[in-house]
Structure 1
Amino acid sequence: MKKDIVIPKVEGVYVAVVNEYNTVYKTQDWNAYIINDKKVDLDVVIIVTNGYSDDKITSTFRKKIDTLPAKSFAKIELIQEELFALNNQFKVTFFEGNAMFDKTYLFRKNTINLNALQAIPLMDVKGVLVK
């Protein structure tokens, strides 16, 4: 029966971690975003995140976005720099039409840093991107 379940490949949806200035607290913060670079809306987007290593695991964070419009992005969470020493994973599930999509985005330990910044689609900022 499992062989009959088909989950299509995810394309055009990314997770990025961006270093940006917080005008309220006057600090440089790292924030995670989900990016929908598709030409269609995504419905019922569920994001489950956590960090882990061989001997540590963070608590699990969950976020739901009812609709992520085409060619848009949404903030997932603030990430503290201490967590960059861990693998940080973002499990994303969403519906596009009647099809369910699922993908795990993984930022390996120590890959989120200022030297790894690149242009982020749709956001006109620099950050670390996982496709």
Structure 2
Amino acid sequence: MKKDIHIPKVEDVYIAVVNEYNDVYKTQDWNAYIINNKAVDLEMVIIVTSGYSNDKTTSVFRKKIDVLPKKSYAKIELMQEDLFALNNIFKVSFFEGNTMFDKTYLFRKNTINLKAMQSIPLMDAKGVLEK
């Protein structure tokens, strides 16, 4: 039965971890975003995040976005720098029309850092991008 379920390949949906200035606390923060670079809206977006290493595991964080408009982005969570020593997983599921899409994005340990930053699509910011 499972072999009969076809989940199509996800394209033009990214996860970015962006280093940005927090006006309220006057700090540089790392925030995770989901980016919809598609020409259509995404519906019922579910994001499940966690971090792990050989001896540590974080708690699971879940976020739901009813509609992520085309060519837009939304903040997922603030990320503490201590988490960058872990592998960070973002499991994303959403509907595009009547079709369900699912993809797992992995930021390997120590890959989120200032040296790895690049321009982020649709955002006037620099960060680390997972496609």
1:84 is paired with a residue whose SS is helix
State the partner residue of 1:117.
117
Q: Secondary structure at the match of 2:57?
A: coil
1:2 shift after superposition: 1.2
Q: Distance in 1 between matches of 2:2 and 2:90?
A: 24
Alignment partner, residue 41 of structure 2: 41
Partner of residue 56, structure 2: 56
Identity of aligned residues (%): 81
**CA distance in structure 2 between the partners assigned to 1:128 and 1:119 by the alignment:** 8
Shift in Å, 1:3: 1.4
Instruction: Give per-residue Cα distances to partners, 1:61-112, cap 9 Å, x unaligned.
Output: 0000000000000000000000000000000000000000000000000000
Task: Look up the match of 2:25.
Answer: 25
Given the alignment of the two structures, is residue 81 of structure 1 paired with residue 81 of structure 2, yes or no? yes
Distance in 1, Cα, partners of 2:80 & 2:99: 34
Q: Which amino acid aligns with 1:123?
A: M
Structure 1 residue runs of 5 or longer lacking an equivalent are none
TM-score (normalizing by structure 1): 0.99
Moved over 6 A (4+): none
**Counterpart of 1:91?**
91
Q: 2-side partners of 1:46 and 1:129: how far apart?
A: 19
Could you tell me how far apart the structure 2 residues matched to 1:90 and 1:16 are?
10
Give the Cα–Cα distance (whole angstroms) in 2 for the partners of residues 82 and 17 of structure 1. 14
AA in 2 matched with 1:56: K
* TM-score, structure 2 normalization: 0.99
Query: Which ranges of structure 2 fall in alignment gaps of 5 or more residues?
Result: none
Which residue in the other structure is 2:72 paired with?
72
- Report the 3-state secondary structure (helix = DSSP H, G, I; strand = E; otherwise coil) of the residue aligned with 2:109: coil
User: Equivalent residue of 1:75, what SS?
Assistant: strand
Note the alpha carbon deviations across 1:18-66, whole angstroms, 9 max, x for none: 0000000000000000000000000000000000001100000000000
